[in-house]
Amino acid sequence: MTVSKALNVFDSFDRFVMGKKVREDTWDYVTIPTNAMNMKEKWSISFDDKIIPEDDDLSDRLFHAGLEMLAITGFYNTNLGRVLSVTEDEILEGIKGAPKKIRLGKGNERVSCKSRRGNSSRKPIIQGGPTGAPVSEDIFSPMMQSYARESVVDVLVSGVLNTVGGHPATTNTPWEIKATLAEIRYVREACSMVGRPGMGI
């Protein structure tokens, strides 16, 4: 059925508020495994030994199984304890509006991340960095420089500062916010130090 518009994050919040109340353990231990198993059976999803699938029909069935999984299951909000409902048409409308290309970084270091389609001869964008692993304060900038100076690296992903000004960057405390802002400064400094100040981070 034609939908009025794609959902955005505000629409999704409203859907959560209006959604059905469900216990989180019921969601985790009943809803998710039951629906995933049902979709596996309905769409005859079975993998062989290949890591990358070579069967196009299997890929199509898996896409439809995932699409239907989202439509019949919805999404759970852990704070509200409620489930958002969404239709397949709304999901497809949302996908239509998603970008096929984004630009990361600025100036000479700006790169374009574009849809590749299969194993295109165009390499993926390389986002180098510790990917959330813990890093000491005193080596944060040099470590990020070690990624930024690699010519194959297009953009950076940060690590997590272990301390800030010697204080542990404990989750859900003001030190966590200070550490996050310090991470951005260190990463920017690393980009500048290797002569790539515009790199996307």
Partner 1 sequence: MTNAGHRITDAHECSQLNEMKIDMTGLNMLSGWTTNGDTIMIEQMPIFGGYTGGLEETAISDVATTLGSFALFSGNFHLDGPIHIRWNVTTSKETLQVAAHAAAAVDANTDLLLANQYYPAAGPCTEMCLLETANQAITDTGSGRELLSGSAAAKGVVKDKTTGMEARVMGEAARTAAGMKVSDLNETIGQILALYEKGFVSPPEGKTFQECYNVRTVKPTQEYLEVYDKALGVLRDCGLPIKH
Binders of partner 1 in range 57-86 (CB under 8 A): 58-60, 62-63, 65-67, 69-70, 73-80, 84, 86
Closest CB to partner 1 among residues 132, 165: 132
In the complex, minimum distance from the CB of residue 175 to partner 1, in angstroms, rounded to a whole number: 17
Residue 7 sits in the site that holds partner 1 (CB under 8 A): yes
Residue with tokens 């019949």: 72
Dihedral over Cα of 184, 188, 190, 191: its sign: positive
In the complex, minimum distance from the CB of residue 155 to partner 1, in angstroms, rounded to a whole number: 7
Closest CB to partner 1 among residues 139, 165: 139
Closest CB to partner 1 among residues 73, 164: 73
Closest CB to partner 1 among residues 88, 165: 88
Pick out residues in 89-118 that bind partner 1 (CB under 8 A).
90-95, 98-106, 110, 113-118
Strands 101-104 and 111-114: antiparallel
How many whole angstroms from its chain centre is CA 110? 21
What are the backbone angles phi and psi of residue 102, rounded to the nearest 5°? -130, 155
Q: Strand, helix or coil at 29?
A: helix
Distance, CA of 4 to CA of 45 (rounded, Å): 33
Strands 134-135 and 160-161: parallel
In the complex, minimum distance from the CB of residue 67 to partner 1, in angstroms, rounded to a whole number: 6
Are 43 and 61 a contacting pair, CB within 8 Å?
A: yes
Q: Which of 1, 2, 4, 10 binds partner 1 (CB under 8 A)?
A: 10
Residue 173 sits in the site that holds partner 1 (CB under 8 A): no
Tokens at 199, concatenated: 């790199």
Distance, CA of 58 to CA of 5 (rounded, Å): 30
Size of the site for partner 1 (CB under 8 A): 113
Pick out residues in 123-162 that bind partner 1 (CB under 8 A).
123-136, 139, 142-143, 145-150, 152-153, 155, 157, 159, 162
